Amino acid sequence: MPDDLLRHVIGPTPYSAWWLWTAVALTAALVLWYVGVFVLTKPGRRLRDVPLVGAARDVAIRHRAVRAVREIGDRYRGGELEAAPAAAAVSREVRRFLNRVTGAPAEYMQLADIPRSEIAAAATLLENLVDVQFNAASELDVARVGRDAEELIRSWT
């Protein structure tokens, strides 16, 4: 074989650096995924205990609860709901909010147990809602109690 043909023989083409960085990024994403799954599903750890996720979760729950209470108030003021069903719906939303934010079984607690629990700040509002719901002679305004419920939800810490 003549020596002048050796200049046409070359080695293998090297890999592009793009493939290396893609492999590094995918490996890092996989490791982060497994760390995230481990941290978020660790037994005994709640989602609200994770700093950034817990704060975002609480804000979303708060906005959803305020919107639901406001819609109930709008339906009451529009004449679609009577006082008792409106009070029951607001009570249900407030208790659901308290359960999700604090973890207390607010949806199942009796009024006598609430002042001795971690949701004691909501005791007066829940008593007013029960009064409107079950007392036909109640002089409480459902719209006002609904605004109080919105304020409680917004200011809950």
Are residues 66 and 24 located together in one domain of the fold? no
Do the domain assignments include residue 8? no
Are residues 67 and 125 located together in one domain of the fold? yes
Are residues 36 and 60 located together in one domain of the fold? no
Do the domain assignments include residue 9? no
Q: Tell me which of 154 and 57 has the higher pLDDT.
A: 154
Structural domain of residue 119, as residue ranges? 50-155
Q: In this predicted structure, what is the pLDDT of residue 98?
A: 95
Tokens for 59, please give them: 């804000």
Do the domain assignments include residue 6? no
In sequence order, the 6+-apart residues with CB closer than 8 A to the CB of 88 are: 129, 133
Tokens for 21, please give them: 């960085």
pLDDT, tens only, 20-60: 999 999 999 999 999 988 877 777 766 666 778 778 888 99
Do the domain assignments include residue 31? yes
The string over 62-77, giving b where at least 16 C-beta atoms fall within 10 Å of a residue's C-beta and e elsewhere, is beebbebbbebbeebe
CA 151/CA 157 separation, integer angstroms = 12
Are residues 84 and 62 located together in one domain of the fold? yes
CA 37/CA 47 separation, integer angstroms = 12
Are residues 41 and 55 located together in one domain of the fold? no
Are residues 74 and 21 located together in one domain of the fold? no
Do the domain assignments include residue 129? yes
SS (H, E, C) 32-59: HHHHHHHHHCCCCCCHHHCHHHHHHHHH
Q: The pTM is what?
A: 0.71
- DSSP letter assigned to residue 113: T
Are residues 77 and 140 located together in one domain of the fold? yes
Are residues 70 and 143 located together in one domain of the fold? yes
Do the domain assignments include residue 10? no
Q: Answer yes or no: is pLDDT of 151 > 60.
A: yes
With beta carbons less than 8 A apart as the criterion, state whether 68 and 94 touch.
no
Do the domain assignments include residue 2? no
Tally of domains within the chain: 2
Q: In this predicted structure, what is the pLDDT of residue 11?
A: 74
Are residues 95 and 147 located together in one domain of the fold? yes
pLDDT, tens only, 66-93: 999 999 999 999 999 999 999 999 999 9
Q: Tell me which of 62 and 2 has the higher pLDDT.
A: 62
Are residues 68 and 144 located together in one domain of the fold? yes
